Copies of this chain bind each other. A is one copy, B any other.
Amino acid sequence: MHVFYTPDIEDGAGAYALNEEESRHCSKVLRLGIGDQVSLVDGRGGLYQAEIASETKRQVTLKVISTTLAYQKRNHHLHIAVAPTKNIERLEWFLEKATEIGIDEITPIICAHSERKVIKEDRLVKVITAAVKQSLQAYHPQLNPAISFADFIRKESGAQKMIAHCIDDTSRTYISDIAQPHAAYLILIGPEGDFSPAEIDSALQSGFKPLTLGNTRLRTETAALAACFELNYLNR
């Protein structure tokens, strides 16, 4: 079943018109015609089954057959703040995989050891949206603007705050040792070269708990996904 991302559909709408670009994609690329069925996700939890009611070159209109609101609503809120990787494809890969596995919010943080300090937000959102459609997620993860590490950790957060770092000390615990179930979590993942000692200190002073993700040396994007897997696992 083909999936369209329709953030502008009204909750419980009975009909929807695809925009010109998606209308062309629907009729010319997918070769769908009147009566064919498609799925719509609105990114706010709405999943719609619809069928093509009318079709012109410029506009495909859909009749909604069934509606599910709060489809697969998650029982926790996972926010991962991760330093953009030098090779942006690695961050894009993380965004795709985290969307498949389950994530609510991502913030790119610029750290002392960050080699990459700028990102193209719109491109990253496209990666997330493609994964939302491919994995049939009704909720669209939120990508926040990039922000400096110092500004980010100063922000208030009601979440359980943790920082994964690579400095081998005994204070680090596994996520599973400290995470409360069905809660909100905020996890910091550092750049290639890890967080600086000063960043780690300031995070700990801001109430972040130090984490280890295992005894192997993980790349930034692998560490971020490992945290995503572990928290989704703990909230099954």
Please pick, from B72, B226, B230, the residue contacting A216 in the complex, using a CB distance under 8 A.
Answer: B72
Please pick, from B72, B134, B222, B233, the residue contacting A230 in the complex, using a CB distance under 8 A.
Answer: B233
Please pick, from B102, B176, B214, B217, the residue contacting A134 in the complex, using a CB distance under 8 A.
Answer: B217
Please name all residues of chain B whose beta carbon is closer than 8 Å to the beta carbon of A176 when the two chains form the complex. 233
Please name all residues of chain B whose beta carbon is closer than 8 Å to the beta carbon of A226 when the two chains form the complex. 101, 229
Contacting B at CB under 8 A, from A209-234, are 214-219, 222, 225-226, 229-230, 232-233
Q: Is there an interface contact between A101 and B214, defined as CB atoms closer than 8 Å?
A: yes
**Total copies of the chain:** 2
Which range contains the number of A residues in contact with the other chain? 20 to 34
How distant is A84 from chain B, measured CB to nearest CB, in Å? Answer: 18
Q: Is there an interface contact between A218 and B101, defined as CB atoms closer than 8 Å?
A: yes
Q: Is there an interface contact between B229 and A100, defined as CB atoms closer than 8 Å?
A: no
In the complex, the chain B residue whose C-beta lies closest to that of A232 is: B214
30 contacts between A and B (CB under 8 A): A72-B216, A93-B93, A97-B225, A100-B216, A100-B217, A100-B218, A100-B219, A100-B222, A101-B216, A101-B218, A101-B226, A102-B214, A134-B217, A134-B219, A135-B216, A135-B217, A135-B218, A136-B216, A136-B217, A137-B216, A174-B236, A176-B233, A214-B232, A214-B236, A225-B225, A226-B229, A229-B229, A229-B233, A230-B233, A233-B233
A-to-B contact residues, CB < 8 Å? 72, 93, 97, 100-102, 134-137, 174, 176, 214-219, 222, 225-226, 229-230, 232-233, 236
